[in-house]
Structure 1
Amino acid sequence: MATTLDRLHVGDRARIVCISVPDAALLDRLADRGLVRGTAVRIQEQALFGGPILIAVRGSLLALRRREAAGIQVERIFDTYEG
């Protein structure tokens, strides 16, 4: 089931399905930072009162504005391993 990155909670993991942002320059900046279709991300932290979201992507941490995260459609990744 697809949702957007801004609707996830701390610790949630997801894979990017589609990025829909109105600005082509923003789309290029996100791609430069590794946010492309198929990339796995994890929500690291969320600021209070609508502040930025910190995500772990490809070994780095990236802060996104909530309105940017709202344009990134993702599918949650559920780990079934219980080692």
Structure 2
Amino acid sequence: MAVLLSNIKIGEKAIILDVNIEEIPLKLLEMGCLPGNQIELLQIAPLGDPLYFNINDSHVAIRKETASEITIRLENQI
């Protein structure tokens, strides 16, 4: 089942299924935020935005608004 990246919980790992190329900054794509890559939510800022992720051993902070443009599949789901 596909969900939005903005909806995962701390510690959950997922595989990126799709990104909205028009809404995602090029820098995130260059850092590995691409379909097929694994992503894990490490932390959430105290006010809930931004979200701090590990993408292919790169640590990246992504705004919740941007994370809602990324579709993922949780790893424990087939």
1:7 maps to 7
TM (normalized to structure 1)?
A: 0.83
Task: Report Cα offsets for 1:7-55 as digits up to 9, x if no partner.
Answer: 000001000000015347x1x2221111100000100001133310000
Query: Which amino acid is the alignment partner of residue 18 of structure 2?
Result: C
- Find 1:41's aligned residue among 39, 42, 56: 39
Kept in 1, the 8 Å contact 2:13–2:40? The answer is yes
Greater C-alpha radius of gyration:
1
Distance 1:35 1:23 in 2: 13
Over the aligned positions, Cα root-mean-square deviation in angstroms equals: 1.7
The more displaced of 3-12 and 44-53 is 44-53
Percentage identity across paired residues of the two chains: 22
Q: TM-score, structure 2 length as denominator? A: 0.88
Corresponding residue for residue 53 of structure 1: 51
Give the Cα–Cα distance (whole angstroms) in 1 for the partners of residues 46 and 21 of structure 2.
Answer: 23
Q: How many residues align?
A: 77
Q: Which runs of 4+ in 1 moved over 6 A?
A: none
Q: Which runs of 5+ in 1 are unaligned?
A: none
Taking a change above 3 Å as real, the CA distance of residues 70 and 23 of structure 1, as seen in their structure-2 partners, is: closer
